[in-house]
Chains A and B, each alone.
Chain A
Amino acid sequence: MRKIEIPWESFAVSLISLLIGFLVGGIILAAVGVNPLRAYAAMFHWALRRPGAIFQRATPILLTALSFAVAARANIFNIGAEGQMYLGALASLYVAVKSGSALLGALAGLVAGMGYASIAGFLKSHRGVNEVISTIMLNWIAFFFLDYSISRYLADPSRPWRSVKVPVGARIPYVGSFPLSFVVAVIVSIAMYFLLWRTSLGYDIRAVGLKPKAARYGGADVKKITLLSMSLAGVAGGLAGSMIVQGQSYYIDIPLSVMYGMGFDGIGVSLIGRNHPLAIVVSALFFGVLMVGSHGMQLAVGVPREMVTAVIGIIIIALAMPEAIRMIRRRLR
């Protein structure tokens, strides 16, 4: 078996971007009158005492990050994990409630996510529609479709602002405070890694991503690869929804607050993991720490949890300029 190489350069870029994120975040904290060190200390202190919560928080964003990463390998900028996750959650909820089976529920989520993502894949491969536009529109359509479906067909009669619950037999259980849904997410990561690096389809996907023209001369069907990689992305995106509804919340509320934004969080997770399925596991756990810790920060210094989102945004902006980071590295040497 081939050795897994660790790309130190990518690792350094991610690390420096994280530092920039925390640094600029610290300046913002100081500007609103909060001691940044106290805020960050409260964040990590709170999170690290709650490992179960970290794994729980990391699970869906690990899967939505995989959705982004697989498409990104084919040079598709899939920001539709949010919508794939919504549809996956709805399908899982429906099937889990009707069948009482955890496996069937998860399968339904997987298929729903795959089908939804392939709409954007098809529009790109056959109509040339930019995936950024189509996936964002599909996200909004899915959002209101869930609101509609839940209020009309799946509402809990005693609490109409949310759906009925997944029956106990169709839930993905916990061992102590550790969610088994996290194991599912890690298995999907490993599967995606093997698919991308150890199969000919994976080779074609990466070839199309790196050099579409050369790949075409090499015999790859670019349209088919585009469609396939979006469908694969949808598998992960849909499962994110399944894991939330079958493994964490057990219901969906009307403004979707049990999952809102977790598809977008996956973009940052994937970018920091340099779109590598195994590195994404680590970056998802790191995001889990930030997100769980944001509660502690809010309690300790009164800064809203969204501060973490702002920091993640700065990290992403920093990740967009590896050239600048390389310059910084040269100076430091």
Chain B
Amino acid sequence: MNPTIFLLSAARAMVPITLAAIGEIITERAGVVNIGLEGILLLSGLFSAVVSLATNSILLGVLTGVFVGLAIGALHALISVTLRGNQIVSGVGINTFALGFVVVVLISLYGSYGQTPETPPIPRIPVAGGSISYFFIATLIIGALAWWALFRTKWGLRLRAVGENPTAADAMGINVFRIRIIATVLGAMLTGLAGAYLVLDYVGYFTKHISAGRGFIALANVVFSNWNPLIALLGGFLFGFFEALAIYLQIIYLSPSHQYVLKMIPYIATLVIVSIAMKRVRPPAALGKPYSRE
């Protein structure tokens, strides 16, 4: 197989895993964990399809995806930060809700159990051997921007302080609650963008299985990156590479039972990569712990 086509395929696969991971890095650096990424991918993906089908506008579809992310992020922030609830349970609830809700919407809008009609065609940048998505370029820029904001600005310093030691940050006059809410909403918005990409660009329609564990692979990428957006770009490419490899091998090996083995590749690779990386990384100290001034 032509290596260019293979690289382009990995570049396509990396976008959702990377965008969601960068978002989650921002959230987790402030001390909030959101394992509802899978659910956000589903809900933002679905509504980006619904809106782009209704308006015939890709742009409105993308904006809808980001907005759905914003809404769920706000809910998760309310539970995790304001109400000091259990962040993991909230995330599981979001994922479960999404799983059921997307089918209810699919049936009531399209009378289909599985998928939406095809969404309008999306423009891409043509290159030799195929095309590159605008989302891919955006992912690289967002990754670099997130790194700069987290590690080179005062805002990022404050955000990281809130995730490491909220009590000390509070004593220095930083508004812990506000920063955590902003970080949670921002992170979910990037996952919403990932969901819109998955539907409008990567697949071209919405199916109820479209997320396929990518929200969790993104969480693995967060760990792999040691909570660093630049390394998450590399990690995303690595995870995307294994996805592309699995797809490529499935085309070559036509025996159906072997296809099942090949489909395991991205998940086994994720498990192995995280197991190796884990010894070398350090999560934010206050990750997952609600902050209270009492």
Contact of A310 among B100, B274, B278 (CB under 8 A): B100
Interface centre among A312, A315, A323 (most CB of B within 10 A): A323
B85, A320: Cβ atoms under 8 Å?
yes
Q: Is A303 in the interface zone, CB < 8 Å from B?
A: yes
B99, A320: Cβ atoms under 8 Å?
no
Closest residue on chain B to residue A29 by CB atoms: B104
Q: How many angstroms between the C-alpha atoms of A184 and B213 in the bound complex? A: 32
Contact of B85 among A32, A261, A324 (CB under 8 A): A324
Determine the main DSSP class of B at the interface with A: helix
Chain A nearest Cβ from B128, distance in angstroms: 34
Q: Is B86 in the interface zone, CB < 8 Å from A?
A: yes
A79, B108: Cβ atoms under 8 Å?
no
Chain A nearest Cβ from B6, distance in angstroms: 22
Contact of A144 among B79, B264, B270 (CB under 8 A): B264
Contact of B257 among A79, A148, A314, A322 (CB under 8 A): A148
A322, B85: Cβ atoms under 8 Å?
yes
Binds A, one of B55-63, B89-97, B178-186, B187-195: B89-97
Closest residue on chain B to residue A68 by CB atoms: B92
Interface centre among B213, B258, B261, B275 (most CB of A within 10 A): B275
Q: Is A186 in the interface zone, CB < 8 Å from B?
A: no
Chain A residues with Cβ below 8 Å from B220 are: 133, 137
Given A128-B278, A323-B85, are A137 and B271 also a contact pair (CB < 8 Å)?
A: yes
Q: Is B137 in the interface zone, CB < 8 Å from A?
A: no
Chain B residues with Cβ below 8 Å from A307 are: 100, 104
Contact of B219 among A133, A261, A312, A319 (CB under 8 A): A133
Chain A nearest Cβ from B206, distance in angstroms: 15
A268, B257: Cβ atoms under 8 Å?
no
Q: How many A-B residue pairs have C-beta atoms within 8 angstroms? Tell me.
A: 159
A313, B99: Cβ atoms under 8 Å?
yes
Chain A residues with Cβ below 8 Å from B108 are: 32-33
Chain B residues with Cβ below 8 Å from A314 are: 93, 97
Q: How many angstroms between the C-alpha atoms of A136 and B104 in the bound complex? A: 25
Q: Is B216 in the interface zone, CB < 8 Å from A?
A: yes
Q: Is A96 in the interface zone, CB < 8 Å from B?
A: no
Contact of A137 among B101, B107, B270 (CB under 8 A): B270
B260, A313: Cβ atoms under 8 Å?
no
- Beta-carbon contacts under 8 Å, A141-172 to B: 141, 144-145, 147-148, 151-152
Contact of B104 among A28, A138, A268 (CB under 8 A): A28
Interface centre among A123, A132, A137, A307 (most CB of B within 10 A): A137
Chain A nearest Cβ from B20, distance in angstroms: 13
Can you list 20 A-B pairs, Cβ within 8 angstroms, ordered by A?
A128-B279, A133-B274, A136-B213, A137-B213, A140-B267, A144-B263, A148-B261, A267-B92, A271-B89, A304-B113, A307-B100, A309-B96, A309-B100, A312-B96, A313-B94, A317-B90, A320-B86, A320-B93, A321-B79, A323-B83
Question: What 9 A-B pairs come out closest when comparing CB atoms?
Answer: A313-B97, A309-B100, A316-B93, A310-B100, A317-B93, A313-B96, A306-B103, A320-B90, A321-B85
Q: Knowing that A313-B99, A313-B100 are A-B contacts, what are 13 other residue pairs whose CB atoms are under 8 Å apart, sorted by A's residue number?
A: A127-B275, A129-B274, A130-B274, A132-B219, A147-B260, A148-B258, A307-B100, A313-B93, A313-B95, A313-B97, A313-B101, A316-B93, A320-B90
